[in-house]
């Protein structure tokens, strides 16, 4: 056989081999392959007493020592009041949540939406949650949300998300923007063994919570919480005080002033001089945290007049607490056991918002904080309205809440001038909101099995397909080389 004939034969052989390989690739089913772990998503609605927010989280399917490395993708604030206001119209609650759910559906991949865990969490004070959720069938169909695990959850007692808020607090690290609790949201996971974790101070609308890692064994098991995070066990002290959140504390204060006045005219030392408002007895006593006098007429109109007296305001707020502990064991207030506060603390939610308004979130000394609060409380209503026209809704309450926070932290939780500097007033760390929802989602990842590989359908390149492609290219390269060698030998 001549050189040209050999070259032609080699070319035909190459064509034949390529045809056979193409036939093999067309027969082999490359639709089902094993892929690396995918990203998981979770949604948590924080349904507070005054407003609702949706937090969208994600984490790799592979976990670190049993816990997912969860990070916040998005936070969406729901328009309107808290969902408890929709008690008589459950469908209205669904309509209010829909815009945030629509935003979530744009973030969570369509193929994962049906299996994405979604929780609606509310405080123990929201007794109407189950009644509202009874309309979920109708509301859910209105939303048209393809979520498979939508569950209402009412955190209550030891399950109330208090340790979740603790988890969300960043650890005292040289790089606090990266490390949270005992984990990192950055490219690598960290576990600072020799570093004490931060405590958490939360102030909601209906309740306030304190959680920290004490230096002594917790003597009361009702305040003892055990938490496992990234393979490490933690023993924490934690307690939630119902009715001592912002809105309920203000209501208790006003009710106490009303009952002390024994008339429809109420002088309020915490409200600015010149401020005046009217409300009925029924509006004042529409909460289980306050009890109306038997002689009070629900329709009676009360007139509240601010007097701007910070000293008298502090005395009135002190009357809301019982600070006596007795000789047996240390306590916070109202006889609730509490070991001495220890370590660094993050104060968020209502603590942060009030102090942020007063520009007191830069680690100012206790003396400077007191001076600022006293000065603000002495300003009259006309002056405040001119200085803060954008904050009219809550402007008259900032003095009350500032003095209330100082009373709660110093007299209630037993911080002092030496430990005050351990409190960090903050809303976020590492672009993630501090609160119970992140800890709740982390705890959720503790309860689901790790997935080393995920079975995914679709035309996806797998290891086997890559190996076949490499083999095809190698064969083709060899045949082309043989053909060219034969062809040039005929020249």
Q: Where are the domains positioned within the chain?
A: 3-33+456-489, 37-154, 161-426
The secondary structure element, H or E, covering residue 306 is: strand 301-306
Confidence of residue 375 (pLDDT cuts 50, 70, 90): very high
Q: How far apart are CA 432 and CA 389, in angstroms?
A: 30
Beta strand ranges found along 307-422 (DSSP E): 345-349
- CA dihedral sign of residues 474, 477, 479, 481: negative
Q: Which residues of 139-151 are buried (b: 16+ CB within 10 A; e: fewer)?
A: beeebebebeebe
**Which residue is associated with the tokens 């407003």?**
51
Tell me what the pLDDT averaged over the chain comes to: 74
The 10s digit of each residue's pLDDT in 95-151 is 888 889 889 989 998 888 888 888 777 654 454 344 444 444 433 333 334 444 444
Q: Is CATH 3.30.420.150 what the domain over 161-426 is classified as, yes or no? A: yes
pLDDT at 235: 82
pLDDT at 95: 82
Label residue 360 by pLDDT band (50, 70, 90): very high
pLDDT confidence of residue 48:
73
Supply the pLDDT for residue 459: 40
Nearest-angstrom CA–CA distance, 85 and 277: 22
**Burial call 213-248: b when 16+ CB within 10 Å, e when fewer:** bbeeebeeeebbbebebbebebebbbbbbbbbbbbb
- Start-to-end C-alpha separation, the chain: 16
Q: pTM, whole model, 2 decimals?
A: 0.70
Q: Is the pLDDT of residue 458 over 50?
A: no
Question: Is 450's pLDDT higher than 60?
Answer: no
Please determine, for residue 427, whether its predicted confidence score (pLDDT) is greater than 50: yes
| Cross-strand pairs, 44 | 55, 119
Confidence of residue 18 (pLDDT cuts 50, 70, 90): very low
CB-based burial of residue 48 (10 Å sphere; 0-12 exposed, 13-18 middle, 19+ buried)?
Answer: buried
> How far, in Å, CA of 267 to CA of 304, rounded?
6
SS3 431: coil
Q: What gap in Å lies between CA 491 and CA 488, rounded to an integer?
A: 5
Dist CA 383 CA 220 (whole Å):
49
User: Contact, 274 vs 380, CB < 8 A?
Assistant: yes
What pLDDT was estimated at residue 111?
86
Measure the CA–CA gap between 462 and 341, rounded to whole angstroms.
54
Q: Which residue matches tokens 């502090």? A: 314
What fold, for 37-154?
Answer: Nucleotidyltransferase; domain 5 (3.30.420)
Q: Are 229 and 182 in contact (CB under 8 A)?
A: yes
Give the residue, 64 or 240, on which the prediction is more confident: 240
C-alpha closest to that of 435 among 44, 63, 130 = 44
Which of 443, 432, 451 has the alpha carbon at shortest distance from 56? 432
Closest listed residue to residue 195, CA positions, set 415, 343, 345: 343
In 3-state terms, what secondary structure has residue 211?
strand
DSSP character for 171?
P
Secondary structure of 221-239 as H, E, C letters = HHHEEEEEECCEEEEEEEE
- Does residue 222 or residue 135 have the better pLDDT? 222
Beta strand 301-306 with 265-268 is parallel
Cα(403)–Cα(409) distance, integer angstroms: 10
User: 237-282, pLDDT tens digit by residue?
Assistant: 999 898 999 999 999 999 999 999 988 999 999 999 999 999 999 9
Question: Among 143-147, 314-318, 405-409, 426-430, which is the least confidently predicted range?
Answer: 143-147
Provide the pLDDT for residue 407.
Answer: 98
């Amino acid at each position: 056989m001549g050189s040209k004939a050999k070259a032609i034969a080699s070319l035909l052989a190459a064509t034949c081999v390529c045809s056979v390989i193409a036939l093999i690739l067309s027969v082999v089913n490359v639709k089902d392959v094993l892929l690396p772990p995918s990203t998981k998503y979770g949604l948590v609605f924080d349904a507070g007493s005054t407003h609702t927010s949706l937090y969208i989280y994600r984490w790799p399917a592979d976990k670190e020592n049993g816990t997912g490395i969860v990070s916040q993708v998005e936070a969406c604030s729901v328009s309107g009041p808290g969902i408890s206001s929709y008690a008589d119209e459950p469908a209205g609650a669904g309509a209010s949540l829909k815009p945030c759910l629509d935003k979530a559906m744009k973030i969570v991949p369509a193929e994962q939406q049906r299996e994405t865990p979604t929780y609606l969490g509310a405080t123990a004070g929201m007794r109407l949650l189950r009644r509202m959720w009874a309309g979920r069938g109708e509301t859910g169909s209105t939303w048209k949300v393809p979520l498979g695990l939508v569950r209402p959850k009412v955190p209550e007692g030891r399950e109330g998300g208090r340790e979740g808020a603790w988890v969300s607090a960043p650890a005292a690290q040289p790089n606090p923007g990266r490390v949270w609790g005992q984990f990192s949201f950055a490219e690598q996971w960290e576990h600072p063994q020799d570093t004490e974790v931060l405590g958490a101070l939360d102030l909601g609308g209906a309740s306030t919570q304190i959680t920290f890692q004490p230096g002594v064994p917790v003597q009361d098991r009702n305040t003892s919480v055990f938490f496992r995070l990234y393979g490490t066990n933690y023993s924490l002290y934690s307690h939630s005080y119902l009715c001592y959140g912002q809105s309920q504390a203000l209501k208790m204060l006003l009710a106490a002033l009303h009952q002390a006045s024994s008339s429809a005219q109420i002088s309020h030392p915490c409200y600015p001089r010149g401020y005046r408002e009217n409300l009925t007895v029924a509006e004042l006593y529409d909460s289980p945290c306050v009890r109306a006098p038997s002689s009070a007429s629900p329709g009676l109109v009360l007139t509240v007049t601010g007097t701007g007296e910070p000293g008298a305001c502090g005395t009135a707020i002190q009357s809301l607490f019982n600070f006596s502990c007795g000789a047996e064991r240390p306590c916070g207030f109202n006889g609730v056991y509490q070991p001495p506060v220890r370590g660094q603390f993050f104060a968020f939610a209502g603590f942060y918002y009030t102090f942020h308004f007063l520009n007191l979130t830069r680690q100012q000394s206790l003396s400077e904080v007191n001076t600022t609060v006293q000065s603000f409380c002495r300003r009259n209503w006309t002056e405040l309205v001119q200085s803060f026209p954008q904050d009219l809704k809550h402007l008259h309450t900032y003095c009350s809440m500032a003095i209330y926070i100082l009373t709660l932290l110093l007299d209630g939780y037993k911080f002092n001038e030496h430990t005050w500097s351990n409190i960090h007033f903050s809303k976020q760390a590492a672009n993630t909101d501090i609160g119970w929802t992140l800890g709740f989602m982390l705890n959720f990842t503790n309860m689901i099995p790790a997935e080393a590989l995920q079975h995914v359908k679709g035309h996806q390149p797998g290891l086997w397909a890559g190996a076949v492609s490499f083999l095809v290219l190698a064969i083709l390269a060899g045949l082309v080389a043989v053909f060219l060698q034969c062809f040039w030998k005929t020249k």
